Amino acid sequence: MPEAADLERRTTELLQRLIRFNTVNPPGQEEEAQEHLKSLLEGAGFECELLAAVTGRPNLVARLRGRSDGPTLCYLGHVDTVLADPGDWSVDPWSGELRDGMVWGRGAVDMKGQVAAEVAAVTALAEEGWRPASGELKVVVTADEEAGATQGAKWLCEEHPDKVRADLVVNEGGGDSFEFEGRRLYAVEVAEKGVFRFTLTTSGRAGHASIPKIADNALAKLAPIVQAFSDGRPELEHSPEPDALMAELGVDHDDLDAALAEVQRRDPRVAILLEPTLGVTFAPTMIRASEKINVIPARAELKVDCRVPPGLGEEHARRRIEEVVGNDGYDVRFTESVVGNRSPIESPLMDLIDEFVRAEDADAAVVPVMLPGFTDSRWFREAFPDCVAYGFCPRREIDMFQTAALMHSADERVPVADLGLAARFFAELAPRVLG
């Protein structure tokens, strides 16, 4: 097993290097970062391939084959990031500066830190001569995760399924820890909500704005609808993941309204993260009506970002819309429909994650979580229905609430100690699964 201090140093240096490649998506420009990772993995004995949907934006697939057939374990990551406005930051977002025991920069948490831990762990293992006894270790680093994955994981899974096929996938979306009533819990992401964005339209009759009563103002009809979407909430819904989480928290969850209120009472921070996993959510974000200030609009449009529990589709979303805003006076057209999906909560991979957590942090436990957003795991679960895909990159020095505030925000940073913890996890897991 590679030495802990060495793993931490390698991960830290690699993360600093990765942050210095500006991979803000759009446009992404992931090629240089991918070439760098490829050279490290090839140097350690991996077979590597760059697969690109468009020039300059390759995905990296690295494989270390075992001596006999067996399961394929895939460490998944993405190397693109969201944008950063240097004016809001205390350091240059592409400096990878080491300050106060942390690496600072865009992507430190989401998710170059995890990619660095994955690659540092597997290259250290392979350089020591480790090879899977059976099965195969893959490292897949995608482009374009932050802008829809049509040139990244979605494309890879559709166009090159044989190259990225896996039985077990470890990706982003989990690993953050939080304290609940004195006990530390590590989240393992096992499910992700779907995205059902829609445009809601109201209609009226156009007219000159100087005689308001001559027209029928479509914009005014949107006002109560906007209000209802932001204040109202459709009925809460059971799903296996939040049910299991609440059981682990010791909260009786037969009645979801009472359960949410109970979590709210015990720790409001946990309630904020739990609530969106208990059903369909609506966030009205954009509105459009007349093109001219002196014309009363005959049509007005509201765009709503709607998230739906895994496995459920448009019909379910529509039912919840009607529950909140009634069923007449508007039209709804879905503009994006991506059904969320899940992996089983119980699996040998979950047991291995649990063992690692208990060995590192004696009184801690793992809890399954549903992500309100979605990650590249979604495309793998869809393409390979039997695969178990979890989000897990352990962090202890900073907790889930701190991480949630740093992702996609200014001064994104990750403690060096957590980079070491994550690298130990990835270095220990591969030999446990593959021998």
Which one of the listed residues 8, 80, 144, 176 is annotated catalytic?
80
Coil, strand or helix at 380:
helix
Per CB under 5 A, 273 contacts Zn ion: no
Indicate if the alpha-carbon torsion angle 44, 132, 32, 108 is positive or negative.
negative
Per CB under 5 A, 393 contacts Zn ion: no
Candidate segments 161-169, 172-180, 331-339, 348-356, binder of Zn ion by CB under 5 A: 172-180
- Minimum distance, C-beta of residue 176 to Zn ion, in the bound complex (Å): 13
Q: Which of 14, 33, 79, 111 binds Zn ion (CB under 5 A)?
A: 111
CA dist., res. 330 & res. 281, Å (int): 19
Per CB under 5 A, 414 contacts Zn ion: no
- Minimum distance, C-beta of residue 109 to Zn ion, in the bound complex (Å): 8
Closest CA to 433 of 356, 363, 378: 356
Tokens 């015990």 found at: 266
CA dist., res. 267 & res. 178, Å (int): 11
Nearer to Zn ion, 136 or 412 (CB): 412
Tell me how many residues contact Zn ion (CB under 5 A): 3
Nearer to Zn ion, 172 or 275 (CB): 172
Angle formed by the axes of helices 314-325 and 218-231, to 10°?
Answer: 100
- Residues 393, 394, 396, CA angle at the centre, nearest 5°? 145
Indicate if the alpha-carbon torsion angle 376, 381, 384, 388 is positive or negative.
positive
CA dist., res. 189 & res. 170, Å (int): 10
Per CB under 5 A, 412 contacts Zn ion: no
Closest CA to 245 of 186, 305, 308, 171: 186
DSSP-assigned beta bridge partners for residue 61? 49, 140
- Minimum distance, C-beta of residue 81 to Zn ion, in the bound complex (Å): 8
Nearer to Zn ion, 110 or 144 (CB): 110
- Minimum distance, C-beta of residue 110 to Zn ion, in the bound complex (Å): 4
User: Is 80 among the catalytic positions?
Assistant: yes
Q: Going by DSSP bridges, is the β-strand pair 183-192/365-371 parallel, antiparallel, or unpaired?
A: parallel
Candidate segments 5-13, 22-30, 165-173, 385-393, binder of Zn ion by CB under 5 A: 165-173
Beta-carbon-side half-sphere exposure of residue 318 (alpha carbons within 13 Å): 11
Nearer to Zn ion, 111 or 367 (CB): 111
Q: Which of 8, 80, 110, 176 binds Zn ion (CB under 5 A)?
A: 110
- Minimum distance, C-beta of residue 25 to Zn ion, in the bound complex (Å): 10
Nearer to Zn ion, 31 or 172 (CB): 172
Per CB under 5 A, 140 contacts Zn ion: no
Candidate segments 31-39, 171-179, 334-342, 390-398, binder of Zn ion by CB under 5 A: 171-179
Which one of the listed residues 31, 136, 145, 176 is annotated catalytic?
145
As a dihedral over the C-alpha atoms of residue 92, residue 93, residue 95, residue 97, rounded to 10 degrees, the angle is 90
Per CB under 5 A, 149 contacts Zn ion: no
Distance of CA 382 to the CA centre of its chain: 16
Q: Which two tokens stand for residue 150?
A: 């049509």
99 and 91 Cβ atoms separated by less than 8 Å? yes
Nearer to Zn ion, 111 or 345 (CB): 111
Candidate segments 15-23, 104-112, 255-263, 366-374, binder of Zn ion by CB under 5 A: 104-112
Per CB under 5 A, 176 contacts Zn ion: no
- Minimum distance, C-beta of residue 111 to Zn ion, in the bound complex (Å): 4
Closest CA to 208 of 300, 293, 299: 293
- Minimum distance, C-beta of residue 270 to Zn ion, in the bound complex (Å): 22
Candidate segments 24-32, 153-161, 168-176, 276-284, binder of Zn ion by CB under 5 A: 168-176
CA separation (Å) from 386 to 9, 169, 382? 36, 11, 9
Candidate segments 106-114, 119-127, 194-202, 217-225, binder of Zn ion by CB under 5 A: 106-114
Closest CA to 189 of 407, 342, 296: 342
174 and 76 Cβ atoms separated by less than 8 Å? no
Nearer to Zn ion, 111 or 156 (CB): 111
| DSSP-derived secondary structure for 242-272 | HHHHHHHHT---SSHHHHHHHHHHH-HHHHH
Per CB under 5 A, 76 contacts Zn ion: no
- Minimum distance, C-beta of residue 114 to Zn ion, in the bound complex (Å): 9
Nearer to Zn ion, 111 or 306 (CB): 111
Binding site for Zn ion (CB under 5 A): 110-111, 172
Catalytic residues, by residue number, are 80, 145
